[in-house]
């Protein structure tokens, strides 16, 4: 059979056998968020293109070459969200959430889209849970948010992670810092690649992202230039954040080259990676100017996003045992027409009692039905044949140890409870 259609490049089918990882991470994420006082928010999967251009930044890779942008029938330019923050900030402003008690704490879970060349751990549609916290600029929340993110990773069972962290300063110091950076880069312009020379003028911070070999020595130093030129307030903020992290026992690693691919960040930026290297599985930072920039009141804010697909890849790589999804507690086997009718009644009864009931009513031989039960991994089989119909009884068989007993219909639930706690 030739397959006519295949999934679009960079997308994935996540089959039932994979779902245990999704339930596991989703349940944990939700409980970590709820217990920390975050409320769930669901925003549209697509927004006006301009929202992303303005917030993420025109000269970022995301906006300049990775967005799924389309024109709808009304002629509006819309874009499938390439990240989670912009939409939440828009919602915060649009719904007047700045009138709610601050800080406002929300979390989300959903797909994001980037037109990028697929690779292991890199998809065009991927799942990105995250949180945003508005209205608090104290460095303690930077540390708390990072700690919360690590708590999630710890709860799902990941080990050996480290937070890479840096500060890119506040907006007031940005001009001076950028000038120092540009001065420094200009002095070394001959050793920089063409792209960097362009970025130096358009968006100097982005030069730090360059991986061009010839630029490396300069960039290495440039990171130091940034840190050295943080203004006093920014330095203080960053120092406090690190202090709090030390205090909370969160393991971090300073990375002066970390500037992140989105323009809206200020102060603290961070990414999480496995200690033995690999892709970053989550990241975030503070963005104190974004709310105002998008038309809201000046509001400090901070957030992070988790790359769930990569997180799950890492769970597998680290052989973390996640709970199996139980598809069925009992399996009903029926033999003959009358038994089949009785089976339907028993299925209802057990369903009402809260059991997950599996069956293969379309099959007739006991062998084939038990084979299915075995394949599903069901612990208990309930066998109903002609004899049981007459005796008003059923056979309860424990497939794990091959013991079985005949019980009267009216004792079924009671006897089942003994075998399944």
Distance of CA 2 to the CA centre of its chain: 35
For residue 395, give the H/E element and its range. strand 393-398
- φ and ψ at residue 62, rounded to 5 degrees: -55, -50
Is 221 or 246 the residue whose CB approaches RNA more closely? 221
The response to whether 85 counts as a known ligand-binding position is yes
Q: Which residues of 69-90 are buried (b: 16+ CB within 10 A; e: fewer)?
A: eeeeeeeeebbbbbbbbbbbbb
Given a contact cutoff of 8 angstroms between Cβ atoms, the answer to whether 87 and 81 are in contact is yes
Is the peptide bond between 103 and the residue preceding it cis, with omega within 30 degrees of 0?
yes
* Residue 314 binds to RNA (criterion: CB under 7 A): no
The response to whether 83 counts as a known ligand-binding position is yes
Is 212 or 409 the residue whose CB approaches RNA more closely? 212
Residues 354-393 that bind RNA (CB under 7 A): 363, 365-368, 370-375, 381, 383, 385-388
DSSP per residue, 167-226: E---HHHHHHHHHHHHHHHHHTGGGS-HHHHHHHHH-GGGGGG---GGGHHHHHHHHHHH
Residues 6+ apart with CB under 8 A from 264: 55, 56, 57, 85, 287, 289, 290, 293
* Residue 263 binds to RNA (criterion: CB under 7 A): no
* Residue 49 binds to RNA (criterion: CB under 7 A): no
Is 123 or 244 the residue whose CB approaches RNA more closely? 123
Is 102 or 203 the residue whose CB approaches RNA more closely? 203
Strand-pair partners of 164: 253, 271
Percentages helix, strand, coil for the chain (3-state, rounded to 5) are 45, 20, 35
Instruction: State the nearest-atom distance from the C-beta of 62 to RNA, in Å.
Output: 7
Structure tokens at 184: 């420094």
Instruction: State the nearest-atom distance from the C-beta of 108 to RNA, in Å.
Output: 13
CA distances from 44 to 80, 83, 109 (A): 9, 12, 12
Among 25, 28, 43, 60, binds RNA (CB under 7 A): 60
Quick one: which segment of 150-158, 169-177, 239-247, 254-262 binds RNA (CB under 7 A)?
254-262
Residues 329-358 that bind RNA (CB under 7 A): 335
* Residue 108 binds to RNA (criterion: CB under 7 A): no
Among 47, 132, 136, 209, binds RNA (CB under 7 A): 209
Among 81, 90, 105, 114, binds RNA (CB under 7 A): 114
Among 129, 135, 139, 307, binds RNA (CB under 7 A): 307
Instruction: State the nearest-atom distance from the C-beta of 405 to RNA, in Å.
Output: 10
Instruction: State the nearest-atom distance from the C-beta of 408 to RNA, in Å.
Output: 14
Residues 119-138 that bind RNA (CB under 7 A): 119-124, 126, 128
* Residue 99 binds to RNA (criterion: CB under 7 A): no
The response to whether 260 counts as a known ligand-binding position is yes
Quick one: which segment of 55-63, 99-107, 221-229, 407-415 binds RNA (CB under 7 A)?
55-63
Given a contact cutoff of 8 angstroms between Cβ atoms, the answer to whether 266 and 170 are in contact is yes
Distance from C-alpha of 97 to C-alpha of 373, rounded to nearest angstrom:
52
Q: How many Cα atoms within 13 Å fall on the side-chain side of residue 370?
A: 14
Lay out the site mask for RNA across 9-48 (x = CB under 7 A, - = otherwise).
xxx-------------------------------------
Q: Which of 234, 108, 217, 229 is nearest to 169 (CA)?
A: 234
Distance from C-alpha of 216 to C-alpha of 192, rounded to nearest angstrom:
9
Distance from C-alpha of 127 to C-alpha of 26, rounded to nearest angstrom:
11
Is 140 or 415 the residue whose CB approaches RNA more closely? 415
Lay out the site mask for RNA across 168-207 (x = CB under 7 A, - = otherwise).
----------------------------------------
Distance of CA 48 to the CA centre of its chain: 23
3-state SS, residue 111:
strand
The response to whether 26 counts as a known ligand-binding position is no
Is 105 or 397 the residue whose CB approaches RNA more closely? 397
The response to whether 128 counts as a known ligand-binding position is yes
Quick one: which segment of 140-148, 155-163, 235-243, 399-407 binds RNA (CB under 7 A)?
399-407
Residues at the binding site are 83-85, 114, 128, 132, 260, 264-265
> Which residues fall in the annotated binding site for L-histidine?
83-85, 114, 128, 132, 260, 264-265
């Amino acid at each position: 059979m030739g397959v006519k259609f295949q999934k679009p490049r960079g997308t994935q089918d996540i089959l039932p056998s994979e779902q245990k990882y999704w339930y596991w991470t989703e349940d944990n994420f939700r409980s970590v968020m709820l217990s920390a006082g975050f409320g769930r928010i669901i925003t549209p999967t697509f927004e006006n293109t301009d929202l992303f251009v303005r917030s993420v930044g025109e000269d970022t890779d995301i906006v300049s070459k990775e967005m799924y942008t389309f024109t709808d029938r009304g002629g509006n330019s819309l874009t499938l969200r390439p990240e989670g923050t912009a939409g939440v900030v828009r919602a915060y402003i649009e719904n007047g959430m700045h009138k709610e008690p601050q800080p406002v704490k929300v979390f989300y879970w959903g797909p994001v889209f980037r037109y990028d060349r697929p690779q292991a751990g890199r998809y065009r549609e991927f799942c990105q849970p995250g949180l945003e916290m508005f209205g608090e600029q104290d460095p303690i929340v930077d540390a708390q948010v990072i700690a919360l993110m690590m708590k999630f990773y710890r709860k799902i069972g990941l080990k050996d992670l480290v937070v890479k962290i840096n500060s890119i300063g506040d907006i007031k110091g940005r001009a001076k810092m950028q000038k120092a950076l540009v001065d420094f880069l200009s002095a070394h312009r001959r050793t920089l690649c063409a792209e960097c020379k362009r970025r130096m003028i358009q968006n100097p911070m982005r030069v730090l992202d360059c991986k061009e070999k010839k630029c490396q020595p300069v960039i290495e130093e440039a990171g130091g230039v940034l840190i050295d030129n943080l203004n006093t307030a920014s330095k203080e903020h960053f120092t406090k954040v690190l202090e709090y992290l030390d205090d909370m026992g969160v393991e971090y690693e300073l990375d002066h080259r970390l500037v992140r691919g989105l323009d809206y960040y200020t102060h603290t930026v961070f990414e999480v990676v496995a200690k033995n290297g690999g892709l970053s599985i989550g990241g975030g930072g503070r963005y104190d100017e974004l709310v105002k920039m998008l038309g809201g009141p000046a509001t400090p804010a901070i957030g992070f996003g988790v790359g769930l697909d990569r997180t799950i890849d890492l769970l597998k790589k680290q052989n973390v045992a996640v709970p199996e999804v139980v598809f069925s507690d009992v399996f009903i086997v029926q033999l003959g027409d009358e038994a089949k009718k009785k089976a339907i009644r028993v299925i209802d009864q057990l369903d009402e009692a809260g059991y997950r009931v599996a069956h293969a009513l379309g099959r007739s031989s006991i062998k084939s039905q038990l084979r299915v039960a075995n394949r599903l991994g069901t612990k208990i089989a309930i066998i109903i044949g002609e004899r049981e119909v007459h005796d008003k009884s059923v056979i309860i068989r424990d497939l794990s140890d091959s013991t079985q007993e005949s019980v009267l219909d009216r004792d079924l639930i009671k006897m089942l409870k003994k075998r399944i706690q």
